């Protein structure tokens, strides 16, 4: 049953305010973490005040201004190959409101979700199983250090999770990776000035990261953006030098922004997608080699990849989110795509997964594709709007 224009506008303003808040937490707060360690409680207070202001301002504009509800646009024809369509979900999982609305977006890997806690103390990290039931929680404490910020978390294979963060030590500041199990820290890897923004664990249990070294950049020293570590030996190898990356900014690596980069550990390879240069990068740990593919024009040219997955057989998928502001409304577009690579030319193409490309009012269109969480063997785990938080589907050719 269609909703009245006033209700639709209130819902749209609420969704718009929430989206702005999530963007600020996911992107801008990450940027400032390169210069200061921000107290999470202060960020939360700022977010709540901002949300209330935006919502009240929207209500006032509704009372004294003209309401212009967003309308769903027809699916557009995007250049590139047809990559099939999604099956109906054969498994759906609903998560609590706390998980869904927490500004710290959870990370999917190895059949679990890991999420940094909003309040932090006494719990910093929560790990959920495939049914979105809490599997474990932990407070990240390192003897002799004062942990000041946690940056990223990912479910692990042997332990519960791996987190990256920063701490004050004697002397100075340092960044670190920590393996978490049974509610506490079981091992710590000191990464010195390297801030790991994206983290994943390979099948050989080595830890892969993507991030930046602010001190080396200030000193105009080169360093690898992708770094491999082990709990026993520390730093192992580095790949993709900052000087040869082609990036103008590295402050948002690991985040889903136009300057971001996403990292995934597959069965045989480590995969990276760079939003700024529109490149797919594949690292083969067995030969310690790296290959780069330049992708053709993104199907949503103003968008950014916000979800990234590689199946066990090596098929590569990405979700793209695009938004823009018109004079009267905030517009959104999303879609799910497959990346195919030419092994000879070094070029890649985007394929559209049928039925996932949409432009919509997020409160009025049910069950449209929203986000790619990751892969589970050959299945994809996705989120559909106004539906289950996680749905398992397959791509049908």
Rounded to whole angstroms, the Cα distance separating 167 from 124 reads 14
CA atoms of 208 and 196, how far apart (whole Å) = 9
3-state secondary structure 322-376: EEEECCCCEEEEEEEEEEEECCCCCEEEEEEEECCCEECCCCCCCCCEEEEEEEE
Q: What is the pTM of this model?
A: 0.81
Each of the 397 residues of the chain gets a pLDDT tens digit; together they read: 444 545 555 555 544 444 444 334 333 333 333 333 444 444 444 555 555 555 555 544 444 444 434 434 433 435 668 899 999 999 999 987 656 656 668 999 999 999 998 765 678 999 999 999 999 999 999 999 999 999 999 999 989 999 999 999 987 899 999 999 988 999 999 999 999 999 999 999 999 999 999 999 999 999 999 999 999 999 999 999 999 999 998 876 766 677 789 999 999 999 999 999 999 999 999 999 999 999 998 988 888 999 999 999 999 999 999 887 777 777 788 999 999 999 999 999 999 999 898 776 555 566 789 999 999 999 999 998 888 999 999 999 9
**Alpha-carbon torsion 242, 246, 249, 255, what sign?**
negative
Residue 249's pLDDT is: 85
Query: Cα(191)–Cα(22) distance, rounded to whole angstroms?
Result: 28
Alpha carbons within 13 angstroms on the beta-carbon side of residue 384 total: 19
Domain containing 371 equals 5-396
Q: What is the pLDDT of residue 55?
A: 54
* 44 Cβ contact partners less than 8 Å away, ≥ 6 residues apart: 118, 119
Distance from the Cα of residue 88 to its chain's centroid: 24
CA distance between the termini of the chain: 34
Among candidates 385, 326, 362, which has minimal Cα distance to 8? Answer: 362
Answer yes or no: are the C-beta atoms of 194 and 223 closer than 8 Å: yes
**Structural contact between residues 205 and 248, judged by C-beta atoms closer than 8 angstroms:** no
d(CA 74, CA 160): 43
Q: Please tell me the total count of domains within the chain.
A: 1
CATH number of the domain bearing residue 155? 2.130.10
- What sections of the chain are H helices per DSSP? 5-23, 29-32, 40-64, 97-101, 214-218
Contact 228, 285 (CB under 8 A): yes
Distance from C-alpha of 287 to C-alpha of 289, rounded to nearest angstrom:
5
Give the side-chain half-sphere CA count within 13 A for 385. 19
Tell me the three state secondary structure of residue 24.
helix
Interior/surface letters 335-347, b for 16+ CB within 10 angstroms, e for the rest: bbbbbbbeeeeee
pLDDT at 40: 44
The residues pairing with 291 across neighbouring beta strands, listed in sequence order, are 282
């Amino acid at each position: 049953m269609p909703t009245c224009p006033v209700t639709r506008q209130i819902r749209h303003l609420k969704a718009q305010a929430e989206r702005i808040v999530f963007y600020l937490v996911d992107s801008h707060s990450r940027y400032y973490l390169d210069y200061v360690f921000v107290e999470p409680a202060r960020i939360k207070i700022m977010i709540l005040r901002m949300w209330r202001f935006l919502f009240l301002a929207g209500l006032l504009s509704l009372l004294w201004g003209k309401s212009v509800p967003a309308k769903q646009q027809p699916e557009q024809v995007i250049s590139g190959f047809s990559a099939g369509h999604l099956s109906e979900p054969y498994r759906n999982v609903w998560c609590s409101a706390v998980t869904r609305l927490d500004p710290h977006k959870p990370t999917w890997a190895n059949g679990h979700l890991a999420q940094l806690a909003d309040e932090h103390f006494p719990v910093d990290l929560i790990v959920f199983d495939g049914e979105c039931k809490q599997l474990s929680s932990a407070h990240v404490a390192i003897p002799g250090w004062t942990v000041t910020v946690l940056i990223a978390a990912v479910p692990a294979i042997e332990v519960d999770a791996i987190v990256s963060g920063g701490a004050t030590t004697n002397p100075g500041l340092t960044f670190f990776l920590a393996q978490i199990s049974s509610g506490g820290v079981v091992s710590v890897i000191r990464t010195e000035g390297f801030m790991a923004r994206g983290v994943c664990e390979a099948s050989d249990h080595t830890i892969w990261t993507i991030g930046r070294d602010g001190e080396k950049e200030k000193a105009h020293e080169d360093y690898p953006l992708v770094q491999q570590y082990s709990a026993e030996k520390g730093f192992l190898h580095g790949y993709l030098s900052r000087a040869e990356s082609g990036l103008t900014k590295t402050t948002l690596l690991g985040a889903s922004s136009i300057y971001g980069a996403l990292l995934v550990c597959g069965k045989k390879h480590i995969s990276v997608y760079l939003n700024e240069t529109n490149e797919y990068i594949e690292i083969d740990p067995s030969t310690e080699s790296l290959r780069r593919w330049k992708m053709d024009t993104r199907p949503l040219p103003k968008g950014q990849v916000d979800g990234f997955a590689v199946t066990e057989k090596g098929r590569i998928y990405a979700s793209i989110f695009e938004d823009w502001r018109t004079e009267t409304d905030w517009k959104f577009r999303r879609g799910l795509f497959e990346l195919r690579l030419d092994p000879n030319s070094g070029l890649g193409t985007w394929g559209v997964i049928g039925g996932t490309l949409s432009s919509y009012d997020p409160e009025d269109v049910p069950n449209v594709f929203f986000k790619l969480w990751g892969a589970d063997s050959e299945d994809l785990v996705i989120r559909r709007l106004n539906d289950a938080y996680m749905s398992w589907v397959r791509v049908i050719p």
